Amino acid sequence: MLEAKNIHFCIKNKPIVDQVNIQLNPGELTVLLGPNGAGKSTLFRLLSGELLCKHGAVKYNGLPISSLKPKELAHLRAVMPQHSTMTFPFKAIEVVELGLSLSNKKYPPNTVEEVMKATHTWHLKDQLFGDLSGGEKQRVQLARVLAQIWEINSFPRYLLLDEPTSSMDIAQQHHILQIMGQLKNRNIGILAILHDLNLAANYADNAVLLKNGSILKQGAIRDVMTPENLEKVFDYPIQVETEGPTAPIYISSLPSTKIRSQNYNFKFA
């Protein structure tokens, strides 16, 4: 279990993450939702070990994160940041191989091929990473991150994704979230920051709503993603429709002029 207890992080005495408790179970996909500036990325970086919190503790399978060496941590979790740039002319396949080269010397020889085929990037393998489109780069990065934890292992591991699908087309977005579903069977717990509420509602098991550095609500997806909670967290009316506990969830929001136009009359001087 990946566990954060009472974590607190300040920048210039302003709390960015305030007394957050969060639990990530292996075999579950949890989404982290919230408006811009809610502290999602800071929380994400605290969980990945990139930042260390002054108060509270982050524990991986019961081990405090500060006691783990970078290499040990890399065996337990893989992280995909929002943007990664490559300085030198590496090929796509070389970028994916990076995910394997450090954590483990011996790995099944077809790992790279498997992850690249799973992310639909195998045909790009000999192209330079810098020449790829935004969505393609994102898929290659995801392949690299997956390679790090692809090998089946007995202990639970975690995958942290910061807006993994932000540059992808709709078909690729669904494809990537389906891969996440398969990863859950490998005893991997996944935490993803997502902006697309429909993707979040229909693929995730749990949701965490974050606002102003604190958790507004967390729990099973259908308990958390109600119109009331979503409106509270995003300060905007959001409709949630579903026909039953197993039926798909439709989340929509309408232009403000059509729902309460009187509140949003700009005066163009």
Partner 1 sequence: MIQNLIYSKTQHQNLVLSVLSLGLLLLAVFSLTVGAYPISFPNAVAVLLNQVGLVLGTFTVQESNVLLQIRFPRILLAMLVGGGLGVSGAALQGLFRNPLVEPGLIGVSSGGALFAVIFIVFGASFPWLTNLFGNFSLPLFAFIGGLINVMLVYEMANYGGKTDISLLILAGVALTALSSALIGLAIFYADEAALRNFTFWSLGDVGGANWDKVKIAILLILAPSFWIMFQYRNLNALSLGENEAFHMGVDVQRVKYIVLFMSALVVGVGVSMTGTIGFVGLIVPHLIRLSFGADHRLVLPGAFLLGACLLNASDLLARTIVMPAELPIGIITAIIGSPFFIWLIINVKKIRT
Binding site for partner 1 (CB under 8 A): 48-50, 69-75, 78-79, 81, 84-91, 93-95, 97-99, 101-103, 109-110, 112-113, 128-131, 145, 148
Q: Which residues contact 159 (CB under 8 A, 6 or more apart)?
A: 77, 78, 79, 80, 145, 146, 149, 180, 183, 188, 189, 190, 191
Q: How far is the CB of 170 from partner 1 (least distance, A)?
A: 27
Q: How far is the CB of 86 from partner 1 (least distance, A)?
A: 6
Residue 89 or 227 with smaller CB distance to partner 1:
89
Q: Kindly report the number of other CB atoms within 10 A of residue 8's CB atom.
A: 16
Residue 24: which of 224, 201, 159 has the closest Cα? Answer: 159
In the block, residue with structure tokens 């136009």: 261
Q: How far is the CB of 46 from partner 1 (least distance, A)?
A: 13
Residue 130 or 237 with smaller CB distance to partner 1:
130
Instruction: Tell me the residue type at 269.
Output: A
Residue 131 or 169 with smaller CB distance to partner 1:
131
Q: Which residues contact 184 (CB under 8 A, 6 or more apart)?
A: 27, 28, 29, 190
The answer to whether the CB of 41 falls within 8 A of the CB of 25 is no
Residue 114 or 231 with smaller CB distance to partner 1:
114
Q: How far is the CB of 150 from partner 1 (least distance, A)?
A: 13
- What are the distances in angstroms from CA 13 to CA 4, 8, 149? 21, 11, 37
Residue 94 or 163 with smaller CB distance to partner 1:
94
The answer to whether the CB of 208 falls within 8 A of the CB of 22 is yes
Residue 113 or 151 with smaller CB distance to partner 1:
113
Residue 202: which of 178, 186, 166 has the closest Cα? Answer: 178
Q: How far is the CB of 88 from partner 1 (least distance, A)?
A: 4
Residue 44 or 234 with smaller CB distance to partner 1:
44
CA pair distance 209, 234, nearest whole angstrom:
10
Q: How far is the CB of 67 from partner 1 (least distance, A)?
A: 14
CA pair distance 61, 24, nearest whole angstrom:
10
CA pair distance 114, 112, nearest whole angstrom:
5
Q: CA dihedral defined by 159, 47, 56, 188, rounded to 10 degrees?
A: 0
Q: How far is the CB of 148 from partner 1 (least distance, A)?
A: 6
